[in-house]
């Protein structure tokens, strides 16, 4: 009896199953794909989008408690271990120290920011995934961080845009860790590099 095909594990995919989402691109590529392929495309793309959409929906319903809990779920557990494993002991420790400093008021800051996006009607949410530091969709800091990784980890980001507009708010970077998306921020790997030796 042939073995049943296994379903993709949440947070895992090949590089092509979750490409950057672009306006007018995801629908066309999904239609060209087969039914199972379209299902995988929608599934992988929806995870980071759905979380951000849920935050906006909660705020629109004046449910600040739910929105706060959703934002709090973005906190990275075992952050010191994650950064050292991803970037090595020395650089990982420096990036973690900066992460701790910047994330002290992350929940309150993001809550305020999401409220501001809702007030500007930025309700169209699109997500992207990066696996290549040379991707044209990567920011300079994302590219630098990926090049510095000892253990490669995909980076994710989302954009909140007002319907009919091209520009909006860009939240980055997220990683998929311990069953959920976590905000790790900009990770300035260059700033975490050892200082050059004096000549």
Domain membership of residue 12 (yes or no) is no
The per-residue pLDDT for 4 is: 45
The per-residue pLDDT for 40 is: 46
Residuewise pLDDT in 10s, the chain (199 residues)? 544 443 333 333 333 323 333 333 332 333 344 445 444 444 545 678 999 999 999 999 999 999 999 999 999 999 999 999 999 999 999 999 999 998 999 999 999 999 999 999 999 999 999 999 999 999 999 999 999 999 999 999 999 999 999 999 999 999 999 999 999 999 886 655 654 444 4
The per-residue pLDDT for 47 is: 79
Q: How many domains does the structure of the chain reveal? A: 1
The per-residue pLDDT for 122 is: 98
Residue owning tokens 């998306």: 181
Domain membership of residue 28 (yes or no) is yes
Q: Are 199 and 113 in contact (CB under 8 A)?
A: no
Domain membership of residue 5 (yes or no) is no
The per-residue pLDDT for 17 is: 29
Task: Please name which of 25, 16, 4, 22 lies closest in space to residue 44, comparing C-alpha atoms.
Answer: 16
Domain membership of residue 135 (yes or no) is yes
The per-residue pLDDT for 193 is: 60
Domain membership of residue 14 (yes or no) is no
* Number of residues that this document lists for the chain: 199
What are the residues whose beta carbons fall under 8 Å from the beta carbon of 9, sequence distance 6 or more?
none
Domain membership of residue 155 (yes or no) is yes
Domain membership of residue 10 (yes or no) is no
Compute the radius of gyration of the chain from its Cα atoms.
18
Give the ranges where 61-104 is alpha helix by DSSP (H).
Answer: 64-72, 79-87, 89-103
Tokens of 58: 């909660």
Range of the domain at 91: 19-183
Domain membership of residue 194 (yes or no) is no
């Amino acid at each position: 009896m042939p073995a049943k095909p296994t379903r993709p594990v949440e947070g895992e995919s090949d590089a092509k199953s979750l490409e950057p989402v672009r306006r007018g691109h995801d629908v066309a590529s999904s239609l060209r794909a087969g039914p199972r392929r379209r299902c995988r495309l929608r599934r992988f793309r929806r995870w980071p989008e759905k979380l951000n959409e849920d935050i906006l929906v909660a705020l629109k319903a004046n449910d600040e408690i739910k929105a706060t809990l959703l934002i709090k779920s973005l906190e990275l557990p075992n952050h010191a271990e994650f950064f050292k494993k991803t970037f090595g002991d020395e650089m990982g420790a420096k990036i973690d120290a900066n992460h701790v400093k910047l994330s002290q008021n992350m929940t309150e800051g993001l809550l305020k920011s999401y409220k501001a996006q809702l007030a500007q009607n930025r309700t169209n949410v699109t997500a992207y995934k990066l696996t290549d530091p040379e991707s044209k969709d990567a920011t300079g800091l994302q590219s630098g961080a990926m090049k510095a990784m000892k253990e490669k980890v995909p980076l994710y980001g989302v954009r909140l845009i007002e319907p009919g507009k091209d520009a909006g708010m860009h939240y980055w970077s997220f990683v998929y860790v311990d069953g959920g998306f976590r905000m790790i921020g900009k990770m300035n790997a260059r700033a975490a590099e050892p200082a050059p030796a004096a000549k």
